Amino acid sequence: MPYDLSPFFLSLRVALISTFFVFIISILLVRFMSRRDFFGKSFVEAVILLPLVLPPTVIGFALIYLFGMNGPLGILLEEWFGIRIVFTWVGAVIASFVVSLPLMYQSAFAAFEKVDPRWENVARTMGIGEWRIFRTITFPLAWPGIFAGLILSFARGLGEFGATLMIAGYIPGQTETVPLAIYFAYEAGQMEKAAFWVIVISSLGLAVMSWLNYWRKKNGIRLGRE
């Protein structure tokens, strides 16, 4: 029987938007963390990577505390901009962002570390500015590793469940992503519907990861830091 495909398209939208912000923030973080030494640097990096080891419910609780109606950021956004995060698809984007950021951060850090600094130093001796060096030398050389991190972040955001359920809730047609659709279809005893979404998300994930593994081997890319 035909099913409403809105969960699939919402999952794609959430994953794409969260991956975009993950890309921007992770690049900025990596450039800052890789070029500066300061007191507490190891602690800051541990905080960035913390979502890798935390249960999704802990992440969801933290997001509700921050963005809830009585949370500091929730109150600020509601009063100043009229924006509500909890029980909206924006909350799903934030949840996907938080769980995906560590993967992108690790991949980007490894990619930038592999860039030979001699190329940058030669450009500096020619009087080229830092921004232009980054834009024309560093970033293009690091791009393969960064791109691999983007694919991983997209796949992770696509499959996010626990934190999304806590902050975005389950509202069919509004916050119902594919992982949520699977869970609540199972809870309702709709096994065929749950199986349909399992096949969809598993096929997509398998295709993405198979292509990524092929691309990595072809380009000699390794993820994470050695």
Full DSSP string of 115-137? S-HHHHHHHHHTT--HHHHIIII
Query: pTM for the complete prediction?
Result: 0.88
Encoded amino acid at 133, one letter = I
Give the pLDDT band (50/70/90) at residue 221. Answer: low
Backbone angles phi, psi at 184, to 5 degrees: -80, -25
Phi-psi region of 82 (alpha: psi -120 to 50; beta: other; left: phi over 0): left
The mean of the pLDDT values for the chain is 89
**Averaged pLDDT, 80-84:** 87
Tell me which of 47-51, 110-114, 180-184 is least confident.
110-114
Q: What is the pLDDT of residues 71-81, one digit of tens each?
A: 899 899 888 88
Is residue 164 within 8 Å of residue 95, measured between CB atoms?
yes
- DSSP-derived secondary structure for 137-157: IIHHHHHHHHHHHHHHHHHHH
Q: Cα–Cα distance between 8 and 14 in angstroms, integer?
A: 10
Q: Cα–Cα distance between 79 and 223 in angstroms, integer?
A: 42
Asked if residue 200 has pLDDT above 70, the reply is: yes
Return the pLDDT at 6: 92
Q: What is the pLDDT of residues 102-158, one digit of tens each?
A: 999 999 998 888 888 888 888 888 888 888 888 888 888 888 889 888 998 999 999
Domains annotated on the chain, with CATH? 6-219 (1.10.3720.10)
Q: For 50, which DSSP code?
A: G
In percent, the amount of the chain with pLDDT more than 90 equals 55
Return the pLDDT at 220: 65
Return the pLDDT at 226: 45
Structure tokens at 18: 């969260």
Tell me which of 2-11, 162-171, 186-195 is least confident.
2-11
